[in-house]
Amino acid sequence: MAKLRPSGGYRKSCSFQTATIIYDATYWFCEKFLDPRSRTVDQMVQGGRSGRQNIAEGSRAAATSSQTELRLVNAARFSLEELLLDFEDYLRHRHLTQWEPDSPEALAVRRVPQKFKQDRSDQSDLTDLTDQERWALYAPWLDHADPAVRANAVICLIHQANYLLDQQIEALEKKFVEEGGYSEQLAAARLAERNRRKTFKTDSTDQPDRSDPTDQIPDCPACGRPMVLRTAKTGKNAGNQFWGCSAYPDCRGVVNL
């Protein structure tokens, strides 16, 4: 049986690949231009790492929890935003120029993916490259001897990554609204399977198992969505099963067994 919800595949996503470049660039920037004993170094490196790792963890969490996936992708966005401020602070504190968004220097960095596709005769793009090949395209800026050039290039990449993550978050929110969360989809899939078995049943002796309450999934009396079999953890009914709305906590509809 195929998985109910796809997960993983983050290594081929533009957001993860861009976050990987940012993390590597931050690590080597701090190693070359900042005091390794500085607390800022730890914060910047951790910010770059957190942005990358949270994208990966969110992708894996997609299999069982839309909310966890959204939380982790948002965490990646927050980490990169904090790292963006660190690089801006580096330039400002040293009276170094920060590139304007539409400056020739910034545009050159932002147009790397477009230029790559124009220079290739096939249909490949940056997502088809290895991490090393992708880094080489940005090396003129990220390996530059001038720390201001490196910092500005990373700032451009963070803006790109944040744009991609904003688009990803918007798509995840829309999907959650339209399709519901994992528990809701799982209950709906189980109900559909029960209905399919009843429709194509040929053996008259093959009757639903009335001892299994999942054979009789009710709709929520409050919102009409499929219910989910739950077990009370506290209170006088602790240990007893009941039907709870699959849209919980937005809907708190309950049906007793």
- Asked if 189 contacts 159 with a C-beta cutoff of 8 angstroms, the reply is no
Parallel, antiparallel, or unpaired for β 227-231 and 254-256?
A: unpaired
pLDDT at 95: 98
Dihedral sign for Cα atoms in the order 31, 33, 34, 36: positive
Residue, of 38 and 173, whose pLDDT is higher: 38
Residue, of 79 and 63, whose pLDDT is higher: 79
Query: Residue 231: what are its φ and ψ, rounded to 5°?
Result: -125, 125
Three-state SS across 180-193? Answer: CCHHHHHHHHHHHH
pLDDT at 1: 46
pLDDT at 139: 97
pLDDT at 173: 84
Asked if the bond preceding 249 is cis, omega within 30° of 0, the reply is yes
How far is residue 223 from each of residues 166, 194, 219, 257, measured CA to CA in Å?
A: 30, 21, 8, 18
Of 123, 227, 164, 170, residue with least CA distance to 14: 164
pLDDT at 243: 84
Burial of 239: CB neighbours in 10 Å, binned 0-12, 13-18, 19+: exposed
Q: What one-letter code names the amino acid at 152? A: N
pLDDT exceeds 80 at position 94: yes
pLDDT exceeds 90 at position 26: yes
The mean-pLDDT minimum among 7-16, 32-41, 139-148, 182-191 falls in 182-191
pLDDT exceeds 60 at position 85: yes
Question: Across residues 129-136, what is the average pLDDT?
Answer: 94
Q: What is the DSSP string of 48-96?
A: HHHHHHHHHHHHHHTTT-HHHHHHHHHHHHHHHHHHHHHHHHHHHHTTP
> What is the Cβ-side half-sphere exposure of residue 232, based on CA atoms within 13 angstroms?
14
Residue 123 pLDDT class (50, 70, 90 cuts):
low
pLDDT at 163: 96
pLDDT exceeds 80 at position 105: yes
Helix residue ranges, H only, the chain: 14-33, 39-61, 66-93, 104-110, 112-119, 131-142, 147-179, 182-199
pLDDT tens-digit series, residues 175-226: 777 666 555 555 555 656 665 665 655 555 555 555 554 456 778 888 887 7
> Over the chain, what is the mean pLDDT?
84
3-state secondary structure of 257: coil
Residue 4 pLDDT class (50, 70, 90 cuts):
very low
Residue 255 pLDDT class (50, 70, 90 cuts):
confident
